[in-house]
Structure 1
């Protein structure tokens, strides 16, 4: 399933390219993060050391993992208040946005091989019967305050035991509809609007994503291009 590890262009232009995540680096040194680090220093009475982002990230992960796994409030959690946690969460979302999300086109084009496989399976099921979430503006280091209601929130999209299901329905008279479920909750296909967006016609879904289905080739998209 880690198809992106085999995508040379993604590895070269995003994973191994520090400029691809420059927004993340800017936010880590920005005013919101500085306030988090300063508050941690005050709570620790750290007069002789400067708390770094890496230290804060480690403490935040320890807090989050102990709560998620053991359902206990770790002492590490005492270093953060609710606003601090939101800032730390935003760093994670910002990282995933630019490394695996909408930040660069190769991020989603590298998954076209999986996309094609899903629709081949749906087509096969359809023949037997008959015979992702994007915000209005990108996440950047400078718009944290306006992204509190962002759709791209990895803690909501990818909790433990995350799953994505596509259900193909035969509604009679040759009418096939597809319903996407993310973590057992209905969601709409991006780009499809109206009352039927949560369960659109299968033909409409294929038409909406025709460019990816017909024009996105894994080997072509993932071939590394020399940058000027």
Structure 2
């Protein structure tokens, strides 16, 4: 009931821009605890908590890099121009596993039910990573030394793990950083091999 009341407060505030009567039940410290509770759920269900969660995005990961490979391929003057954009639509449940597969927002110490007090500076905050209208952009630039790739999360530049020196590193360097996934990350093999012993999902 406490969680339901907090959601009513949050939804009315974010959707209708009204100060819901439900909000009077909570102070700022309550909100932080309930935010952490939500982050715990998403971390262990759809993000870095279990490897299989991020590996569920293998097909999407390969699709993205096939599209980038095609766009960055050298062309002759007689070749048709590449598509200016490839747009895919999904949900937060689509983005979180993919962001995890890319190695983003992974804190040194994972959040647990017992370390709330030490997690105030965590980067894994779903309210900031996957808010309403969350988006992930891969922008490929045609540069003199070769194509460069910039990553943006919710229109803000984010640097690739292991390539922190540049906002838009060479595309070949990005591919090299993710070589282990490009050469592997087989959805069927990973999911079939890790599904044993899992019980039914009883979450409401």
Query: Into which bin does the TM-score normalised by the smaller protein fall?
Result: 0.7 to 0.9
1:118-153 Cα deviation digits (max 9, x unpaired): 000000000156882211111111111111111110
How do 1:1-228 and structure 2 match up within 5 A?
A: 55-128=1-74, 132=99, 133-173=105-145, 175-194=146-165, 196=166, 198-223=167-192, 224-227=194-197
Q: Which has the higher helix share?
A: 1
The TM-score, its normalising length taken from structure 1, stands at 0.72
Aligned length: 171
Give the number of the structure whose alpha-carbon radius of gyration is greater. 1
Q: Tell me the C-alpha RMSD between the 2 structures.
A: 1.7
CA distance in 2, matches of 1:191, 1:164: 19
Is the Cα–Cα contact under 8 Å of residues 170 and 176 in structure 1 kept in the other structure? yes
The structural deviation recorded for 1:116 is 0.4
| Counterpart residue number, 2:87 | none
Q: Which runs of 5+ in 2 are unaligned?
A: 78-98, 100-104, 199-204
The structural deviation recorded for 1:186 is 0.6
Q: Which runs of 5+ in 1 are unaligned?
A: 1-54
CA distance in 1, matches of 2:60, 2:54: 10
Is the Cα–Cα contact under 8 Å of residues 167 and 180 in structure 1 kept in the other structure? yes
